[in-house]
Structure 1
């Protein structure tokens, strides 16, 4: 995560195609610091086919100058059966966009006529690791199945990459899908543990900081009024069901910017305060599957368990929200 003037960082974004993923993708595509080489897709919020379609949808709305490769990856977790979040993100993972019509009655989001790459996401990741080495930054917004699979295929090549910024885990706060686990780690705890043990430089952007980054519904609607365009309309539409979930279950009409915060940390690491910790992921627990357990004891075992992740524990919320507003 070098901050040389005018130097863009080659980036791969690994996503499971949900609502906050879409917001993070819009940020990334508009960020001058990031050179997005590929977007790889994994099952998580929604099945991998639909998630891939959602990534193409975002690209078609943002219309970046150069389109990154979009490659489909793993259809299910390494060991566990697939579990998704369609109840929160809508049946299509993007707030059920087929509900929306234009004034003339035509669909606001017609069927896409673009296809993803025929390359497999794992091959794309390994090729980029080989090509860019320690300049490569990978930002993961979903379960870590694709990354773990790439590590299992060629750990030596994967060890060459610069850093992985992971939206996942909860170290000092409760989980959000169970009392113990954050959603991405819960969906594929085995993959999360493979990545934790990989020896690659990791930054963990978990619920510790994500829950400090709220986006109120009012702000989304104000943005749409202030500058109505395809992007602000899409953001208002795709977040509607997602934000209603938070209103109904948590009494907050808005949503938390989990994935956009991870993207912001990739763009500007100074937004967060981190601590170097040894983190492991529970894969077999009866009640604790997906728990990210950090060694925060006074007498840590640095000899056998040296820190393996920079864990984000605090965030400058105002600066983050300003960056988010600039990029979406």
Structure 2
């Protein structure tokens, strides 16, 4: 599914800066198989400016030796009004960190002094595609607006990218924002369809596998006690509201590791089993907007609609969780 490459290999994370995005970025920053060149940011879970601040917050907490460039991109979907998930991720998209104080009463997460790059995310994506070509993996954790815009800007350059690993969609299970659609595809189905038609090798880490990788509140709190650090405390803090949402709405006091699993697949593709399918994303349906429709019919002639996505359908959740703990 992913070509054998020398390590560390260049990657870019494209994100909308929510809670599970933060956990995914922590994994990537701590993974010696990656050279995280940049984090490109867009609106989705929260507006693009707050999302960029959230990414900078995570980098400030992890303190990597070589911090990646952080660049802001699209402020809204291609054709539709913005739609966010502040009710799930907190008003700041990161669990409302202003609530937390240290023992001496000072703010645990004071205002940052760093700013995002002046470069635009679309320019960053295109420059990286040109420079690294097939060696470059993009891990897309939010709506696909930035990537679709880069394709619209210079399709030939973007087609040099080795693979895009997409957290989005659902093949055999219901959606999570509607009966038909997963959140990222629902927010910008037009962008998702452009990416489906891009000709770039795509891996879809959708709800089929993401919902099989739960993390309980108890596990997070126990980990923070057993491994006290700035990072473990941040994970406990930022996931509090996110996990409470699942407790109150689904009866599970924890969360699903949607975005971390996408990074996990980038690190170790053998964590998942995949099926190569032809996929389209519904852009006009009254009730099915954002639905990822995979053609799983038994067809002898696939020339008219050849497979364009490797869709993940099963995951070794235990092995993935082991990898998660190793990298946080």
Instruction: Report the TM-score, using the length of structure 1 for normalisation.
Output: 0.99
- Counting only pairs closer than 5 Å after superposition, residues 62-77 of structure 1 correspond to structure 2 as 62-77=62-77
Give the count of matched residue pairs.
Answer: 327
Give the C-alpha shift of residue 8 in structure 1: 1.1
Distance 1:126 1:298 in 2: 37
Give the C-alpha shift of residue 299 in structure 1: 2.7
Matched residue SS, 2:307: coil
Distance 2:274 2:166 in 1: 13
Give the C-alpha shift of residue 298 in structure 1: 1.7
- Counting only pairs closer than 5 Å after superposition, residues 142-153 of structure 1 correspond to structure 2 as 142-153=142-153
Matching residue of 1:158: 158
Cα-Cα RMSD: 0.8
Matching residue of 1:113: 113
Give the C-alpha shift of residue 2 in structure 1: 3.7
Give the C-alpha shift of residue 300 in structure 1: 6.3
Matching residue of 2:49: 49
Distance 1:2 1:195 in 2: 20
Matched residue SS, 1:45: coil
Distance 2:163 2:3 in 1: 11
Matching residue of 1:299: 299
Q: Deviations over 1:173-231 (max 9, x none)?
A: 00000000000000000000000000000000000000000001111001110011100
Give the C-alpha shift of residue 254 in structure 1: 0.3
Matching residue of 2:81: 81
Q: Deviations over 1:247-298 (max 9, x none)?
A: 0110100000000000000000000000100000000100000000000112
Matching residue of 2:311: 311
Matching residue of 1:204: 204
The runs of at least 4 consecutive aligned structure 1 residues that moved more than 4 Å come to: none
Distance 2:312 2:86 in 1: 28
Matched residue SS, 1:233: helix
Closer/same/farther in 2, CA of residues 34 and 286 from structure 1, 3 Å limit: same
- Please say if 1:125 is aligned against 2:115: no
Distance 1:3 1:224 in 2: 36
Matching residue of 2:255: 255
Closer/same/farther in 2, CA of residues 112 and 82 from structure 1, 3 Å limit: same
Matching residue of 2:15: 15
Distance 2:103 2:212 in 1: 38
Matched residue SS, 1:55: helix
Q: Deviations over 1:58-96 (max 9, x none)?
A: 000000000111000000000111000000000000000
Distance 2:270 2:32 in 1: 17
Q: Deviations over 1:9-51 (max 9, x none)?
A: 1000000000000000000000011110000001000000000
Closer/same/farther in 2, CA of residues 232 and 189 from structure 1, 3 Å limit: same
Distance 1:312 1:176 in 2: 17
Q: Deviations over 1:132-184 (max 9, x none)?
A: 01000000000000000000000101111100000000010000000000000
Q: Which runs of 5+ in 1 are unaligned?
A: none
Distance 1:3 1:158 in 2: 21
Distance 2:227 2:178 in 1: 39
Give the C-alpha shift of residue 3 in structure 1: 4.1
Matching residue of 1:31: 31
Matched residue SS, 1:288: coil
